[in-house]
Amino acid sequence: MIGRVSEVVAGVIVGRPSLGFVIVATIALLWLVLAMAAYLVVFRAYHRGRREYRSRRLAAYQPAIELVLMEEPYPAVVAALTPRLAGDGDCVQELVTENMRHLSGPPFETLRRASVELGFVDDNLRALRSWDRHRRGHAMERLGLLRCEEAVPGLVRALAREDLDLKLVAMRALAAIGDPSALPAIHAAAAALPPGLLPRLASLMLEFGAPGRDAVRELMNRRAADFPQVSIPALLKELAQDWESP
Amino acid sequence: MSARKKVLVFEDNASIQTLLKFFFQKRGVETRIEGDGTEAVPLVLDYHPDLILMDYIMPGKDGVETVMDLRRAGVSTPIVMLTSKAFPADRARAQQAGVTAYLTKPFDPTQLEAAVKPYLAA
Amino acid sequence: MSDAAWSLYHWWIPRANATIEVLLVWYFFALNACYLLLSLLAFREVHRHLLRSIYGGYEQLARSPLTPAMSVIVPAHNEEVGIALTVNNLLHLDYMRYEVVVVNDGSSDRTLEELKRAFSLVPALVASNGGLKSAEVRQVYRSSRNHNLLVVDKVNGGKADALNAGLNFASHPYFCTIDADVILEPDALQRVVQSIVETDKRVIAIGGIVRVANGCRIEKGRVTGVAMSRNPLVIFQIVEYFRAFLCGRTGFSRFNGLMIISGAFGVFERALAVEAGGYRADTVGEDMDLITRLHDHMRKKGEKDYLVKFVPDPVCWTEVPTTLGVLARQRRRWQRGLLEVLSANAHMFLNPRFGAVGLVAYPLLFLFEGWGILIELVGYLFFAILLERGQVDNDVAIAFFFVAVVCGWALSLSGIVLGEMTPKRYPKLRQVFAMTAFALIENLGYRQFTSFLRLLGNIDYLAGARGWGKMERRGLLRQQVKA
């Protein structure tokens, strides 16, 4: 049947070139769409499989969190968190960072110590230089959640060289870590940022507390005209905190 | 020998539910976790907890609304409110509604312990 | 048959055959090819958005005091069945600082009573920000239980009028319009605000994907399970919505040529909307009208550095018509709205001062959506007649088949593919296959039917029809949506 159709189509092309062009173009577009569809089916199947595998592995390490909260001795926690299979390292990191999101105080410190000891921090620092954009982004995010100060120089370098999307991820990570030494670098990055993103930058700077507020004040003085009107009242209100009664 | 203390937790985030569950388990306190505040009043009247932990933002019924409902129904159990950030204005609203104590997340077990100990003392 | 028809049938059509055939084939080709190109642009955009949204960052955004607050404006008319549940859900969105302004547009049923009962409303002395003209406001109420709910009771004036009244009492820098019978996703505002705040240019308006709620599992007024209805009419519309939102709108937003977001959901800068005059009360396409006027306003001010964006994330769920009658009314109204807006903004046509909107979007909408259906219908009729007479040229028949059916199918497929890349996708593979099959079948009747309805809409417009007609309210939220 395909033979017959191609015969007819060939006939059209010879007889009436313009119509022939139209048909060929249509077929090309259809193949493009079918290719997109195939990509999608494969993409979905792969990700579903991956997701299911990961949730099974994650479940295997969940008892470690219980140990942390039950204030069990540190060696037991580390033993429970040590990755057992290849590829588990990433899952354990996810589990640890997800829980560190919601914790502070002793359990947070335990998990942090464990992350350093298990080499997660080093892994992520190395991944900051990976050729894969995704790995870099995830590494930045994780370093932010782990709140490790050793990562600040690496993140600052990433801030200078990455594109816009990853710049924002790096800034968020630096804001989560909260080390004020990063503020000059963030300020420098602001010079390259389009005006529309300045309020976002300011919002992240405010996370640093008082030094952040100083940095925002400086930024506003330097680039007063660039800040969008809509954002100024809220910014001023935040900055006024330093002048409230002690 | 006093009976085990009971705590009723209203919190919708799964990770935090797990953390709270383990926290109270370690201290030998019976916990019940609910993700939704709509059925709060009958639940409390039925379960008789010694302490209630309430999340500020929940789907269905707002934390503060739930507290107001409970107080109006005559429940005098101490209520500790968990919230992501302490907005001064909202804290006032919570206290007006009848919240006993106020805690911010991420949750630090030592702080949480200090906050709940007085209400769970035998 | 009358003389004229006879001569048309037997004499003119066969003579004009050759030219008309080629023109028709080229028209369909141009139509589908343009949209397919848009969908290629859209593919890149959806892919990028997907990758970017993996990093989340919503928590910091949600906590930050600099994240703009929003006013959610809900115009309601005779919504007693579901209004309490809708508003309750709106009061529990995943967003830190926002207010809900419900505008009771002179309902003749118990809408206001329901609101009073559910939220303990008390009369409040709230001054209007003024600015926009609207029908008389009788009373403004606050809720004694929820500090961020405001209810504006006014005399009936239509949806646009109600929105203007809501704008007069809204107090935050951005506002979100949402229909009262639509289910808003809890994280919709978060996703939208991320696109506003993390964009380098100023975003003056932004929309998201509207999904079909029919057949989904709905609990307590929230969509908890994505499922597909078995009603063929609904599945046709699902394919249409994916095509319209993912190929059309996402594609247009790539080059800031977006003229329509959606009637069901839209977020705008409040001050700018008021400056541009708010909503026009005398058109049924008030959403499209506002956006086009915003473009107009900005360009007239000389500002070109702005964006009207589209976020390829599902933001709300709506109930689509399940019967032909209601569908017919809806499509005729939409077409009328489109033509009203096009005629009100005719000065944009091919005007470089209006950038992509004037040079690309307006002409495309005018030609393919507005008046091109005449050509479409003539095409279908023409071929039907020729087929009947047995006078169809083989080449042309095949060409026509390819451009009309195959090309149309390709376009719908790309919509489905893009749809499956967005969150809350249809989970089962057989649902995807069903959509694919229906995308093919729609070219054999459904598409022609909707084109015919749009033609009726054109006729309505030319005849000067006005108003919204009878609306059906079945209470999407109180009862299970009719699948």
Q: B103 pLDDT exceeds 50?
A: yes
Enumerate the residues of chain A whose CB falls inside 8 A of the CB of residue B111: 105
Among chain A, residues having any CB pair with chain B shorter than 8 Å are 65-66, 69-71, 98-99, 101-108
ipTM: 0.72
Single-letter residue type at C179: D
Enumerate the residues of chain C whose CB falls inside 8 A of the CB of residue A165: 52, 55
Mean of pLDDT over chain A: 83
Is A105 close to B110, i.e. CB distance below 8 A? Answer: yes
Beta-strand ranges (E) seen in A21-130 are none
Q: How far is C388 from chain A (nearest CA, A)?
A: 21
Q: How far is B25 from chain A (nearest CA, A)?
A: 8
Q: Which chain C residue has its CA at the smallest distance from A174's CA?
A: C60
Q: How far is C42 from chain A (nearest CA, A)?
A: 12
Report the C-alpha gap between C309 and A24 in whole angstroms: 34
Report the C-alpha gap between C173 and C170 in whole angstroms: 9
Q: Which residue has the tokens 């949209």?
A: C35
Of the candidates A71, A103, A106, the beta carbon closest to that of B19 is on A103
Is C202 close to A228, i.e. CB distance below 8 A? Answer: yes
Instruction: Identify the residue with better confidence: B49 or A238.
Output: B49
What's the confidence (pLDDT) of residue C262? Answer: 85
In tens, the pLDDT along B35-83 reads 877 788 888 888 888 999 988 777 667 788 888 888 988 888 899 888 7
Report the C-alpha gap between B8 and B53 in whole angstroms: 6
What's the confidence (pLDDT) of residue C276? Answer: 92
Q: Which chain B residue has its CA at the smallest distance from A108's CA?
A: B108
List all residues 6 or more positions away from C404 whose beta carbon is below 8 Å from its beta carbon: C28, C379, C443
For the ranges A7-11, A104-108, B25-29, C164-168, which has the lowest average pLDDT? A7-11
Q: Which residue has the tokens 């204030």?
A: A71
Is A230 close to C269, i.e. CB distance below 8 A? Answer: yes
Q: Region B80-107: what's the mean pLDDT? A: 75
Q: Which chain A residue has its CA at the smallest distance from B18's CA?
A: A66
User: Is C36's Cβ below 8 Å from some Cβ in A?
Assistant: yes
Report the C-alpha gap between C325 and C366 in whole angstroms: 26
Q: Pick from A137, B34, A172: which is nearest to C63 by CA?
A: A172
Q: Which chain A residue has its CA at the smallest distance from B17's CA?
A: A102
Interface test with B, best of C89, C96, C143, C144 (most B CBs within 10 A): C96
Interfacial B residues in 93-112 facing A (CB < 8 Å)? 105-111
User: Is B68's Cβ below 8 Å from some Cβ in A?
Assistant: no
Of the candidates A65, A104, A107, the beta carbon closest to that of B18 is on A65
Which chains does C contact via 3+ CB–CB distances below 8 A? Answer: A, B
Residues in chain A: 246
At residue C140, φ and ψ (nearest 5 deg) are: -110, 135
Distance of CA C296 to the CA centre of its chain: 20
Q: Region A94-98: what's the mean pLDDT? A: 88
CA atoms within 13 A on the CB side of A139: 22
Low-confidence ranges of chain C (pLDDT < 50): 470-483
DSSP for B3-57 reads PPPEEEEE---HHHHHHHHHHHHHTT-EEEEES-STTHHHHHHHH--SEEEEESS
Number of CB pairs, chain B paired with chain C, less than 8 A apart: 20
Q: Pick from A155, A157, A128, A134: which is nearest to A144 by CA?
A: A155
Enumerate the residues of chain A whose CB falls inside 8 A of the CB of residue B109: 69, 105-107
Q: Please give the helix or strand (H or E) that residue C123 lies within, else none.
A: strand C121-123
DSSP for A120-174 reads HHHHHHHHTT-S-HHHHHHHHHHHHHHT-GGGHHHHHHHHHHS-HHHHHHHHHHH
Report the C-alpha gap between A61 and A77 in whole angstroms: 10
What's the confidence (pLDDT) of residue C96? Answer: 77
Is B110 close to A106, i.e. CB distance below 8 A? Answer: yes
Is A40 close to C421, i.e. CB distance below 8 A? Answer: yes
Q: A204 pLDDT exceeds 70?
A: yes
Of the candidates A66, A70, A102, the beta carbon closest to that of B107 is on A102
Enumerate the residues of chain C whose CB falls inside 8 A of the CB of residue A37: 413, 416-417
Enumerate the residues of chain C whose CB falls inside 8 A of the CB of residue B57: 92, 94
User: Is B74's Cβ below 8 Å from some Cβ in A?
Assistant: no
Enumerate the residues of chain B whose CB falls inside 8 A of the CB of residue A102: 13, 15-16, 19, 105-107
Q: Pick from A159, A180, A68: which is nearest to A114 by CA?
A: A68
Which chains does B contact via 3+ CB–CB distances below 8 A? Answer: A, C
Is A164 close to C57, i.e. CB distance below 8 A? Answer: no
Q: pLDDT tier at A244 (50, 70, 90 boundaries)?
A: low
**Contact present, A204 and A155 (Cβ < 8 Å):** no
Is B60 close to C186, i.e. CB distance below 8 A? Answer: no
Report the C-alpha gap between C306 and C137 in whole angstroms: 34
In tens, the pLDDT along A38-77 reads 887 787 788 778 888 888 888 888 888 888 888 888 898 8
Is A141 close to C55, i.e. CB distance below 8 A? Answer: yes
Is B108 close to A104, i.e. CB distance below 8 A? Answer: yes
